[in-house]
Amino acid sequence: GAVVSQHPSWVICKSGTSVKIECRSLDFQATTMFWYRQFPKQSLMLMATSNEGSKATYEQGVEKDKFLINHASLTLSTLTVTSAHPEDSSFYICSARVFSGMNTEAFFGQGTRLTVV
Amino acid sequence: DAKTTQPNSMESNEEEPVHLPCNHSTISGTDYIHWYRQLPSQGPEYVIHGLTSNVNNRMASLAIAEDRKSSTLILHRATLRDAAVYYCILGPYNTDKLIFGTGTRLQVFP
């Protein structure tokens, strides 16, 4: 099946610095990818929809200037957490959806655990 | 997005069947019922989806009520590796994004 890969799997950064997370679709092209955030013992929260070649669409309450999304190719979307603070520590997950006839399935990356110290 | 209601947690013994319920009384005619699960410290993975008829695949079965206001994910023989949070999600076929609810945390005991 299709594979979505995230890098890095985990990252620790100092408060005030920026962190970039990559999301790649390895064997299919994804015009649209999604970024989620998940705090411990909570569900996934959709942050934004990443659109290849155009601006991302952010969910209500998500700061677009803090969470920069770039989708420059059909296989790569990046999420940059700018000026990270401890409250940004979370599990970030990307996904892409594949439609094939009557089949529809979303593929998720393995997630990136961000710790801001 | 139509809302789903799932029990917070369920328990099962290994090799027993597990029935995970989901209520979705406000489902619309174009909403598919999707099930995903998330193992600890991993991204979610697809389990199954359906519209009106019951569905089977290698992982599970999906039983959909005739009025479509509820559905049940059936794991025929639970294994320890099935311990995960199971999410029931509604959405039209042609929508890209998935909105996750709180899900059901399944514990499987040996």
- List per-residue pLDDT tens for chain A, 117 residues long: 679 999 999 999 999 999 999 999 998 888 889 999 999 999 999 999 998 888 999 999 999 999 999 998 889 999 999 999 999 999 999 999 876 666 678 899 999 999 999
Contact call for residues A113 and A9 (beta carbons, < 8 A): yes
Q: Which chain B residue lies closest to A45 (C-alpha atoms)?
A: B100
Rounded to whole angstroms, the Cα distance separating B33 from B98 reads: 11
Partner-chain contact A49 B96, CB within 8 Å: yes
What residues pair up with B64 in beta bridges, in sequence order?
B71
Rounded to whole angstroms, the Cα distance separating B91 from A93 reads: 20
Rounded to whole angstroms, the Cα distance separating A6 from A23 reads: 5
Contact call for residues A105 and A97 (beta carbons, < 8 A): yes
Does residue B89 carry a pLDDT above 60?
Answer: yes
CA distance B91 to chain A (A): 11
Rounded mean pLDDT, B15-22: 98
Q: How many Cβ atoms from other residues are within 10 Å of residue A54's Cβ?
A: 9
Residue range B27-38, pLDDT digits in tens = 988 899 999 999
